[in-house]
């Protein structure tokens, strides 16, 4: 079996043999010997000398051929190695690219922290209940609601400026005039109503309406003292309002039903159905009736035949 070339193509061995001599071919040395033979051949040595020179030329040609073939094989090996190196590099780069891409995390939803909500706006502080009492009063303080001959003098009356909640849900300050003997009871009742946010439409002395009870009721006003007669059948008698011992609350939501005369005030007819409970109304067990009951006052809504839903008094009449 002949010897196999020692070339390796793209990393795969094609056989084993002698190491190839990649040194440059020494053409000049061999050619110098060839020129000497030419000189000898032309000299006097004859046929033997010429035959020797022919032998040397044949040897030289074989050596040169082997060296040229070896050089060519070496060059081819170098080119193949370079080609394999480039191919291997490209394959390596191509193989590493997917790995690099796989190593990178796929884009996902942003995990940026959501902004924290700011502090809730501070709720306005609800004003505390307050009540200020002034008096004794004078005739000048009650010019329309008092007159000589009333059952109590102005000196027995007190004006109370106190807090209440309107139908709009806001705090207000109103004024009510009552007998000095019930000031603390009245303050207690309206403090209960204020804490319960029970709505009151208006709170002004009847003198604002020139002492007119019908006008005060039509304005849905809450009031106390008014020196007048009771609206009732029978002989004339003083109303408990003339003593400063009665209070009417939300006169429209809580009308008075006078037999034979209708509803007072007329706008109160919308509230005759007492089972349809709405804000500001007085009803058994409700906050308004309970607040007055807590201080011993009675409710006119319990009157048989002529209920007065707005009316609360010390005596119950």
Which structural domain, as residue segments, surrounds residue 43? Answer: 8-89
What is the 8-class DSSP label of residue 259?
T
Residues 153 and 261 in one domain: yes
Residues 83 and 206 in one domain: no
For residue 271, is it within any domain?
Answer: yes
Residues 6+ apart with CB under 8 A from 222: 164, 174, 176, 200, 201, 202, 203, 247, 248, 249, 250, 251
Structure confidence at residue 125 as a pLDDT band (50, 70, 90):
confident
Question: Which residue, 62, 89, 116, sits at the end of a domain?
Answer: 89
One-character DSSP codes across 167-184: TTS-EEEEEEEEEGGGHH
Residue whose C-alpha is closest to residue 154's, from 163, 145, 167 = 145
pLDDT tens, residue by residue, 153-188: 999 999 999 999 999 999 999 999 999 999 999 999
Residue whose C-alpha is closest to residue 310's, from 227, 226, 217, 212 = 217
Question: Which residue, 65, 89, 113, sits at the end of a domain?
Answer: 89
Angle at 25 between CA 27 and CA 82, to 5 degrees: 145
Residues 135 and 85 in one domain: no
3-state secondary structure of 303: coil
Residues 83 and 172 in one domain: no
As a whole number of angstroms, the distance between CA 144 and CA 227 comes to: 9
For residue 264, is it within any domain?
Answer: yes
Residue 33 has pLDDT above 50, yes or no: no
As a whole number of angstroms, the distance between CA 225 and CA 242 comes to: 6
Contact between residue 244 and residue 223 where contact means Cβ atoms under 8 Å apart: no
For residue 122, is it within any domain?
Answer: no
For the chain, the domain total comes to 2
Residue 307 has pLDDT above 70, yes or no: yes
Contact between residue 179 and residue 151 where contact means Cβ atoms under 8 Å apart: no
For residue 103, is it within any domain?
Answer: no
Q: Is 122 exposed, middle or buried (0-12, 13-18, 19+ CB in 10 A)?
A: exposed
User: pTM of the prediction?
Assistant: 0.63
Residue 82 has pLDDT above 50, yes or no: no
For residue 254, is it within any domain?
Answer: yes
Question: Which residue, 38, 68, 89, sits at the end of a domain?
Answer: 89
Q: Is 288 exposed, middle or buried (0-12, 13-18, 19+ CB in 10 A)?
A: buried
């Amino acid at each position: 079996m002949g010897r196999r070339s020692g070339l390796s193509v793209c990393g795969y061995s094609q056989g084993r043999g002698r190491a190839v001599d990649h040194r440059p071919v020494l053409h000049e040395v061999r050619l110098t010997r060839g020129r000497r033979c030419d000189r000898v051949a032309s000299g006097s040595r004859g046929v033997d000398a010429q035959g020797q020179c022919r032998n040397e030329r044949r040897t030289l040609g074989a050596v040169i051929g082997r060296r040229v073939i070896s050089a060519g094989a070496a060059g081819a090996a170098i080119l193949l190695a370079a080609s394999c190196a480039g191919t291997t590099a490209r394959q390596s780069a191509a193989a590493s690219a997917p790995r690099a891409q796989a190593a990178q995390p796929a884009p996902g939803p942003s995990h940026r922290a959501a902004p924290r909500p700011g502090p809730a706006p501070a709720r306005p502080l609800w004003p505390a209940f307050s009540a200020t009492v002034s008096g004794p009063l004078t005739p000048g303080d009650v010019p329309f609601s008092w007159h000589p001959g009333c059952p109590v003098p102005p000196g027995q009356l007190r004006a109370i400026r106190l807090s209440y909640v309107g139908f709009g849900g806001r705090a207000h300050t109103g004024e009510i005039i009552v007998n000095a003997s019930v000031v603390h009871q009245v303050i207690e009742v309206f403090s209960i109503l204020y804490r319960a946010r029970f709505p009151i439409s208006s709170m002004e002395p009847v003198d604002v309406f020139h002492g007119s009870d019908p006008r005060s009721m039509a304005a849905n006003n809450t009031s106390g003292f008014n020196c007048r007669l009771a609206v009732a059948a029978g002989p004339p008698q003083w109303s408990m309002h003339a003593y400063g011992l009665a209070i009417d609350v939300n006169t429209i939501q809580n009308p008075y039903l006078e037999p034979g005369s209708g509803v007072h005030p007329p706008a109160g007819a919308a509230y005759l159905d007492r089972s349809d409970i709405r804000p500001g109304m007085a009803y058994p067990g409700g906050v308004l009736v309970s607040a007055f009951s807590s201080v011993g006052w009675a409710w006119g809504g319990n009157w048989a035949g002529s209920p007065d839903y707005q009316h609360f008094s010390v005596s119950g009449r």
